[in-house]
Structure 1
Amino acid sequence: MPRLRHSRDGGFSPRRRNRRGPLIFKTNPGREAMKCGLKTGLIVGTALAGLTLSVHANEHDAPDWLRVMSETTFDGVTNDLVTGGFGVSGMIAGPDISYADPFAPTADELRRASIITDGSAGFGKIYGPNVDAASGEPILGDGKLAGTEYLAYADDGSGRQNVSFLLQLPETFDRESPCILAVPVGGSASLYRNIGNIGYWGLQKNCAVVYTDKGLGNGFHDLASDTVTLIDGTRSSADEAGAASHFTADLDVPARQQFLKETPHRIAFKHAHSRQNPDSTWGRDVVRSIEFALYQLNAVAPAAPLTPDDTLIMVAGNSNGGGAALNAGEEDTEGLIDGIVAAQPQVQLKPDDRVTVARGDNIRKGSGRPLLDYFTYAILYQPCAAAATPDAPWADRVSFAENRCESLIERGLVDSETVAEAAGESLEKLRAYGWEPESDMLHASHYVIAPTATAMKYASSQGRFGVEDRLCGYSIASVDENGKPQAVPEEELAVIFAKAPGGAPTGSIDVVNDRDPEGPTRDYVSRSPSSGRQDFNLDGALCLRGLVTGESENAARVQKGIDEVAGNADLHGTPTIIVHGRADARVPIGFTSRPYLGLNALNDGSGNLRLYELTNVEHFGAGLPGYAKHFVPIDPYHIAALELMYAHLTAGGDLPPSQVVRPEIGTEGAGAGGTNLVLPEIAATPDTADLIDVANGKVTVPD
């Protein structure tokens, strides 16, 4: 299949400029990582016992930041790259993910548990590993694919970065027409999160697929037992793990013991407590994942080396992964990446008042908002707003909504005098700040999904605070039925790699309000120290908000970190597609994708970015209870956008113009694949009323 390269003026010419030759790396054999018994591509000792070790990486020069940790081959029957041997039908039915020893799961058992994709409406019918993405027809084999996996770390030699990579090389990889799909993982989760909803597409195209956790992942440190996770999910003592630890808190033994004496049972998570603000290097990490993939592919078959010039390279990600995909495009000044497809990207931009976004009469100036800005605003008003939408999904779970409204009134944070008025005013404040009206019914459930945990995590991360700092009086611990900190149950610790989303909440582990006047208590049921009222800890929420808007020393640290992650939307002409739901209340489109389109038009100017805005689509794939009767999953459109990009890069197919696409919920059985999902295509020639226009930084979006 011919490969084409894209030029900044939108035309095509023979594949790839010779911007860089074959990747030639030199290894520094004296790296600090060797001190823990690790050699490039080979592990000595038992740190990762149970994994098949790589023998290829020693034979070739590697980047000095790379440690190839393991190689494992799957037969595609008893175990495979995509479904863990369960098949799509098995995943849908609910596979058995029990462990032979629940207190000491094997690496393979943890991998199988991590790889499970629950899917959302239409999974396994209209999209998924068992459905051909090009034709929509079922594929033999129930989605199972044979091949080999390689696990690796990128690091500075200290073992404190340890950005994780997973390379999947299918048996069907075509060296005559090579391609690589790079997938930065969404959220803060493990490497296996996006295999079943993104990575499988690349494997279907016979591409190598490489994932990165972007320096986040399920790296945790249980301070009481002093145990940590390794790259394969198994546990080890922090001392034995050394630089092979996925994450170890930056506390020496006396400091850790003193911290536990004052605050027993606390846990450190990598994203929150690494002190590295890893979001600021997402672009670098994605580019490195591609370089690792090229290196490893050449180590496997050195007689037929691949270069960036003869390899089709695409990047695709969802949510945080979508933001990282765009960051990679900004980072890639040498033309390594051929195309990008980002779904609902959590992306943050440098302030620029040249950008405006207009939807009808609603015009917003500027380049969106940082995540910490809109999350800390959300946690102030979403709980009270839930009282204004009593029929919304999960509204009944916001048990102290009226208490929060009363506290907002007392603190002068609303002008209302009654709870009912405060609830309505809170909902209006969220709209006025930038949430779309289509998100109104989502605020209740989104507050239950724990935005405080996310805000706390990002504030700690971007301010480079450690676990011992307990920013704004927050910490993380397992809690008992009364919300009081306890030792983490041993079985829960054993499987935390497979279960946790890169932080709290997960299982019994949750955010703790250490300033509750009745003692440290799970934040969701705690009391504000100023009032003693169970109001979801308004005091803590105001403290987090002050880190974004205030002038304290801690606020300055956080704001500096926010500046470090802000991008400029210059993708250097790389063809790019963004798909984003209009109803997204988690990563609102008005803070992210819409202004990204405007700033890209100013700073890139190639016209190679497309935005497909989807009605009736929210952030979580319509898979949460109460969502399916209102919302359509984004996944089918993410896959459709990948197909469009693939055709664009390999056959010169046109990318449809930016547009609003209007999927909806229809009659049961009358939609795509016998579902109730009515999914109009991304139109090659959309109606004028659906076109999204961008000119001179102004984005105009039709209703």
Structure 2
Amino acid sequence: MNPITLCALIGAASVALTACNSDSGNTSQSFNELPDFILGDVQQTMYDGITDDLLTAGLGASGLAGAAPAFTDPLNPGARDLRRLAIYNNYRALVDTAPGGGYGTFFGPAVGSSGEGLIAGHEFIARASVPGARSPITLMAQVPDSFDPGSPCMVTAPSSGSRGIYGAIGTAGGWGLKKGCAVVYTDKGTGTGAHNLATNTAQRIDGTLTSEDDAMFRADLSAAEREAFNSQWPDRFAWKHAHSGDNPEADWGQHVLQSIRFGFYALNQLHGEAGGEGRRLNTITPDNTLVIASSVSNGGGASVRAAEQDTEGLIDGIAVSEPNLNPTVDRSFSIRQGEGPALAEHSRSLLDYTTALAVYQGCANLAPAISAEAPLNGVFVPPVVGEAICASLANKGLVTGATTEDRATDALRILNEEFGIQPEQNLLAPVHFGLAVAQSISMTYANAYGEADVEDRVCGLSLAATDASGAVIPLAGAAEAALFSASNGIPPTAGVNIVYDNAEGQPTNLNASVSASSSQADYGLDALLCLRGLAAGADPVSGAALTGEQAELAEEIAEGIAAVRATGNLQGKPAVFVTGRADAILPINHTSRPYYGLNQQVEGDRSQLRYYEILNAHHLDVLNGLAGVGNRYVPLHHYYFQALDLVWNHLSGQQPLPPSQVVRTTPRGDMATPLDETHLTPIAMTPDDSDRILFADGELRIPE
């Protein structure tokens, strides 16, 4: 062990060991310096854990489960009000807080804590840059007062989805803070970042609106270019994830690694030994700190990519839930569930399967196999729209059948058989289509992978507020003021919708659009087929190769997808994935399952990755608070915390990780019945042979 490492290990535990202090003349230990990727000043705030705190913004467990906090001034909310509402909305977006669903019993701020679960500590926020990127990212480090410099730990919490800096507050944030660890966050180059092109206003890092250059994101338009765009397309917004001109996902791993380095800066500012001249030493380092890369969904994928790219030994272990991963395509192995057919066409890209869902799911919703049983089917998208989608698909030769039911059945077959969407995902797919999940992902990621700008209006799509008829209108002032707190970073959100500019008649909210090719109100199917074509690299109707600008954009998108492919090499780090088999947003045959298989191919006997597939669990636990969902499904959030506990115990106590397995849960069946331990089968240290997930002879074998 070198002297620097030795001093780092013992210096934080005993300031009496002055040989490790630069004041004694030893200069081997460096001063704490702000990383060079930080842009501008660092905002540091201390929260007392009484009037305000790190985890709940002063709301406490009961406040998070209650009504949304109101702004004192709705048209001009202050930074503190914006932060409070952002934490409230981001927590509740991922965690089911409804009575009986496990909140307050198995998870929540008060579980394992005293009182309402408020956590005192310091919060550091700053902007940062990655070489080659046009727009900055946001980093945050939260250090609870319970942090022990003698036994330091850190958890990464990159935001899920396209959320902003507080996007993982209720997941990795809650677990890490209650553990006494520093938690480091990044928005991954996504977040609200909404630029109102009509008024030229956008959000600062604290969420307040500005017309100056201190915004988190602005479209790359000169004043003249913006004026010209506004004259033709008034009241539009540019959105950071879609319109930054970057492919932020390609850098998600680097964003997480930067958040870790920023976290060490914050820790040493607070707890590093005094080094003279009013400066601090780097006494808390990767060598003496337990670091777990974590988070869920996109955040989970970002942490996995960080572990793959970690060349400095920053990360000790990985614990993620439902990670968004695009594994490098390796068709030398197949996936087989039970005695079903082997699937070789796995590892489709996010844009590939999502554009397929955007095109076909609106029709598939009406398939007799799911139409009556799927919860909330038809609530957000009326059946008449589904019928129009089915008719348009049939007229284009994309589905077969003489009746709507026949066409819908064929659309469902296409998704299940041709695109590898698990039948277990069928019941939740309709509500996701109704919430425009596939549509919004398709639009946003096509733009991001192609590094498009807002004026490109890929596939004739733009972003704006709309009225009841679908026509574009200015966004109300109070709604714009709240965007930082209310938006999930990927429209439609917080009053801003996807607009189909090429709709028949006039630019119209996509969900109410009439396609020019059919003159039917088929959810703007022409636009969705355009996105599908860009993902597939060919016209989805004729099969012909794309030409001109469309061909160039499709090629750029393909390059963008290649840039986000995961390698499967976790460098032997211990890792746990938990994923719900019913995940209808990130289908398991293209994400967790093939990544696990790829990892086995790449790392072989060196692999320490464990994969736990949870039955009766899906992607958005928040939906479990709704009748028809909560009675069928259990919270994946509970198993995510188990994953973190398993990795923690493995790293800190050398406890073995359980083998990969299917976990068989028992839904409560009745919303009036509270979840208890009988519903939530634990991950087994020695699972039955019939439950083990195995990789052998070029096949990943998943039990039924």
Q: TM-score, length-normalised on structure 2?
A: 0.88
1:126 aligns with one of 97, 106, 115: 106
Offset at 1:376?
A: 0.5
Offset at 1:670?
A: 10
1:262 aligns with one of 232, 244, 260: 232
Tell me the residue number matched to 2:496: 509
Contact 1:384 1:404 in 2 (8 A): yes
Contact 1:317 1:343 in 2 (8 A): yes
Q: Which 4+ residue blocks in structure 1 deviate beyond 3 angstroms?
A: 17-22, 156-160, 667-671, 673-677
2:323 aligns with one of 345, 348, 353: 345
1:232 & 1:158 partners in 2: Cα distance? 25
Tell me the residue number matched to 2:25: none
1:487 aligns with one of 474, 492, 502: 474
2:685 & 2:128 partners in 1: Cα distance? 41
2:262 & 2:532 partners in 1: Cα distance? 39
Change (3 A) 1:415 1:684: same
Contact 1:282 1:327 in 2 (8 A): yes
Offset at 1:165?
A: 0.9
Contact 1:198 1:317 in 2 (8 A): yes
Query: 1:587 corresponds to which letter in structure 2?
Result: L
1:640 & 1:463 partners in 2: Cα distance? 38
2:264 aligns with one of 294, 304, 315: 294
Q: Which runs of 5+ in 1 are unaligned?
A: 1-13, 23-58, 133-138
Offset at 1:294?
A: 0.6
Tell me the residue number matched to 1:102: 74
Contact 2:631 2:670 in 1 (8 A): no
1:499 & 1:185 partners in 2: Cα distance? 15
Contact 2:158 2:167 in 1 (8 A): no
Query: Per-residue CA shift, 1:584-605, capped at 9, x if unaligned?
Result: 1110111100000110011122
Q: What secondary structure, in the 3-state scheme, does the structure 2 residue paired with 1:364 have?
A: coil
1:345 & 1:411 partners in 2: Cα distance? 35
2:652 & 2:133 partners in 1: Cα distance? 40
1:516 & 1:154 partners in 2: Cα distance? 39
Tell me the residue number matched to 2:428: 442
Change (3 A) 1:280 1:674: closer
Alignment root-mean-square deviation, CA? 2.2
2:484 aligns with one of 480, 497, 500: 497
Q: What secondary structure, in the 3-state scheme, does the structure 2 residue paired with 1:511 have?
A: strand
1:498 & 1:524 partners in 2: Cα distance? 25
Query: Per-residue CA shift, 1:273-322, capped at 9, x if unaligned?
Result: 00110000000110110011012211233316111110000111111111
**Stretch deviating more after TM superposition (555-564 or 191-200):** 191-200
**Stretch deviating more after TM superposition (419-428 or 114-123):** 114-123
Aligned 1:447-462 pairs, distance under 5 A: 447-450=433-436, 451-462=438-449
Tell me the residue number matched to 1:384: 363
Aligned 1:359-438 pairs, distance under 5 A: 359-360=337-338, 361-388=340-367, 389-391=370-372, 392-397=374-379, 398-399=381-382, 400-432=385-417, 433-438=419-424
1:676 & 1:329 partners in 2: Cα distance? 33
Offset at 1:422?
A: 0.4
Offset at 1:558?
A: 0.9
Tell me the residue number matched to 1:149: 123
Tell me the residue number matched to 2:659: 657
Tell me the residue number matched to 1:78: 51
Tell me the residue number matched to 2:700: 699
Aligned 1:204-283 pairs, distance under 5 A: 204-237=178-211, 240=212, 242=213, 244-283=214-253
Contact 2:8 2:288 in 1 (8 A): no
Offset at 1:106?
A: 0.6
1:353 & 1:20 partners in 2: Cα distance? 49
Q: What secondary structure, in the 3-state scheme, does the structure 2 residue paired with 1:580 have?
A: strand
Change (3 A) 1:232 1:140: same
1:566 & 1:157 partners in 2: Cα distance? 19
**Stretch deviating more after TM superposition (283-292 or 659-668):** 659-668
1:518 & 1:466 partners in 2: Cα distance? 25
Offset at 1:129?
A: 1.6
Query: 1:614 corresponds to which letter in structure 2?
Result: I
Contact 1:221 1:249 in 2 (8 A): yes
Q: TM-score, length-normalised on structure 1?
A: 0.88
1:623 & 1:559 partners in 2: Cα distance? 36
Contact 1:612 1:659 in 2 (8 A): yes
Contact 1:656 1:685 in 2 (8 A): yes
Aligned 1:580-619 pairs, distance under 5 A: 580-605=579-604, 606-619=606-619
Q: What secondary structure, in the 3-state scheme, does the structure 2 residue paired with 1:362 have?
A: coil
Q: Which runs of 5+ in 2 are unaligned?
A: 10-30, 274-280, 538-545
Tell me the residue number matched to 1:188: 162
Contact 1:353 1:366 in 2 (8 A): yes
Change (3 A) 1:668 1:472: closer
Query: Per-residue CA shift, 1:567-592, capped at 9, x if unaligned?
Result: 11111011110000001111011110
Change (3 A) 1:131 1:264: same
Query: Per-residue CA shift, 1:181-213, capped at 9, x if unaligned?
Result: 111110111111221232111111111011111
Query: Per-residue CA shift, 1:393-413, capped at 9, x if unaligned?
Result: 221232200111111110000
Tell me the residue number matched to 2:641: 639
Q: What secondary structure, in the 3-state scheme, does the structure 1 residue paired with 2:140 have?
A: strand
Query: 1:431 corresponds to which letter in structure 2?
Result: N
**Stretch deviating more after TM superposition (492-501 or 627-636):** 627-636
Offset at 1:674?
A: 5.4
2:395 & 2:571 partners in 1: Cα distance? 51
